Amino acid sequence: MRFLKTTFFHLCILLFFAHAVPVCADEPGFAFHMLDVGQGLCVLVEADGHYLLYDGGGAKTSSFVVSFLKQQGVSNLDYIVVSHYDDDHLNGIVGALHVFACGSVLAPDYVPDTDIYRSYVSALQENGAPVTHPLPGDTYTLGNAFLEILGPSSYDNASENNNCISLCIDYEGFRFLICGDLEAEGEEELVNSGADLSCDLYVVNHHGSASSSTFYFLDRALPNCAFLSCGAGNPYGHPASETMERLQSMDCELYRTDRQGSVTAYSDGSSLWFSTDPCIDFSGGDLPIERESTAADSTGSITYVCNTNTYKFHYEYCDSVDQMKEKNKRFTTESRDALIAQGYVPCKNCRP
């Protein structure tokens, strides 16, 4: 009898914990990460445990990209796609090639005379990954995802931006369109080629520049949502106001790194959801970012955040402030000139 009472007691305990502890839902099979690499582009795609890296951002965020991939459990990249060879897209790829094994590199067929390209070639040789120069119609698989190369038809365009590799990733019917720094001429070529540009998610071309995301292109793509990668306070004025107006007129839900940081879209094959709510800010980069933290107080001063470790100073809203250790933060209303005289250097992202 004592044995039965003890067994019944243990059974009750097990039933209590079975109800008290929630059962973890299965991980989504697909994730489309747009990393916050400032004024650059980097997208990591995961499909059923397989990985594709499209561009890698600039030199300052290369270590962040490598760290992010490691956090996602990446040890091997099935594909690295180099949209083109501008340093704000290529630097992080060089870093990734030094760290991760890679099954195949898809890259444009032209050779720029730049130091970063030479570093890329050296990293390729060290990695040993084979290189393919894809053409429209080439297809690849990534887990249950299907990749189709859309452009360019050749790599001899006058603008290197129009040499960008454009592709569509299809996961169980959900379509993701990404074309790097493609400009209006390249967009027109894609539309006229008859390629299927329809998509659920569109990565905004060329950081939202005025010369990209034309109505001619958007009317063919008809995206439900748009991912925009650009740096806060960048010197190019990206994104352009007219481009943002075009996107807003398409009733796209917008996600942008300069306001929200890194953003991820997930899918289980039957639905699509995001790591954060859409951004309601369709303002252009050439307009001031109205944030209370950068406004002058009643004495006319501005509060800066100094990093006592790196000796850089920032506006309070700068993304770098969130990544800074609390012990290294120093808030001050000293003038910009006074901080520089003390050896501090202005942040190149928020440009205080």
Q: Looking at the domain assignment, is residue 95 inside a domain?
A: yes
CATH number for the domain harbouring residue 187:
3.60.15.10
**DSSP run (H or E) holding 14:** helix 2-20
Percent with pLDDT over 70 in the chain? 86
205 lies in the same domain as 328: no
Per-residue pLDDT, 304: 83
Q: How far is CA 46 from CA 53, 55, 63, 97, 144, in A?
A: 9, 14, 20, 18, 10
Is 3 inside any structural domain? no
**For residue 285, is it within any domain?**
no
Sheet of strand 312-315, all strands in order from the earlier edge strand to the far edge: 329-332, 304-307, 312-315, 345-346
Contact, 41 vs 180, CB < 8 A?
A: yes
- In order of 4, 8, 22, 290, 321, the CA distances from 11 in angstroms are 10, 5, 18, 60, 51
Does any domain span residue 281? no
Q: Which residue has the higher pLDDT, 150 or 320?
A: 150
176 in the same domain as 316? no
Based on the fold, state whether residues 216 and 341 are members of the same structural domain.
Answer: no
Last residue in a domain, options 244, 274, 304: 274
Q: Under 8 Å CB-to-CB from 121, ≥6 apart: which residues?
A: none
Do residue 308 and residue 214 come from a single domain? no
Tell me the two tokens of residue 281.
């800010």
Tens-digit pLDDT profile for residues 186-201: 999 999 999 999 999 9
Q: What is the pLDDT of residue 11?
A: 44
Residue 325: what pLDDT?
80
Residue, of 158 and 174, whose pLDDT is higher: 174
Residue 25: its pLDDT value, please?
42
| Residue 173 placed within a domain | yes
16-27 b/e with 16+ CB inside 10 Å = b? eeeeeeeeeeee
Model confidence band, residue 101 (pLDDT cutoffs 50, 70, 90): very high
> Could you report the per-residue pLDDT of 77-100, keeping only the tens digit for each?
999 999 999 999 999 999 999 999
| 317 confidence band (pLDDT: 50, 70, 90) | low
pLDDT surpassing 70 at residue 292: no
Residue 198 shares a structural domain with residue 330: no
- Contact, 116 vs 89, CB < 8 A? no
> Does 159 share its domain with 211?
yes
The tally of domains found in the chain comes to: 2
Contact criterion met (CB below 8 Å) for 105 and 129: yes
Residue 59 within any structural domain of the chain = yes
What DSSP string runs through 52-93? EEE----GGGHHHHHHHHHHTT-SEEEEEE-----HHHHHHH
Sign, CA dihedral 239-163-192-52, equals: negative
Same domain (yes/no): 240, 157: yes
Asked if residue 96 is part of any domain, the answer here is yes
Instruction: Say if residue 206's pLDDT is above 90.
Output: yes
Give the model's pLDDT for residue 248. 96
Are residues 168 and 37 located together in one domain of the fold? yes
Percentage of the chain surpassing pLDDT 90?
A: 71
User: What is the pLDDT at residue 105?
Assistant: 98
Does 112 have pLDDT greater than 70?
A: yes
At residue 319, the pLDDT reads 63
Residue 333, both tokens: 């209303």
Q: Are residues 256 and 296 in the same domain?
A: no
As a whole number of angstroms, the distance between CA 94 and CA 148 comes to 24
**What residues make up the domain containing 66?**
30-274
Structure tokens that stand for 17 in this block = 């914990």
Give yes or no: residues 151 and 260 share one domain: yes
Q: Is residue 7 part of a domain?
A: no
Last residue of a domain, one of 274, 307, 336: 274
> At 214, is the secondary structure helix, strand, or coil?
coil
Question: What local confidence, expressed as pLDDT, does residue 193 receive?
Answer: 97
Using one digit for the tens of pLDDT, what is the confidence trace for 215-258?
999 999 999 999 999 999 888 999 999 999 999 999 999 999 99
Tell whether 136 and 218 lie within a shared domain: yes
Residues 219 and 305 in one domain: no
Instruction: Report the Cα 50 to chain-centroid distance in Å.
Output: 18
pLDDT, one tens digit per residue, over 14-73 is 443 333 333 334 678 999 999 999 999 999 999 999 999 999 999 999 999 999 999 999
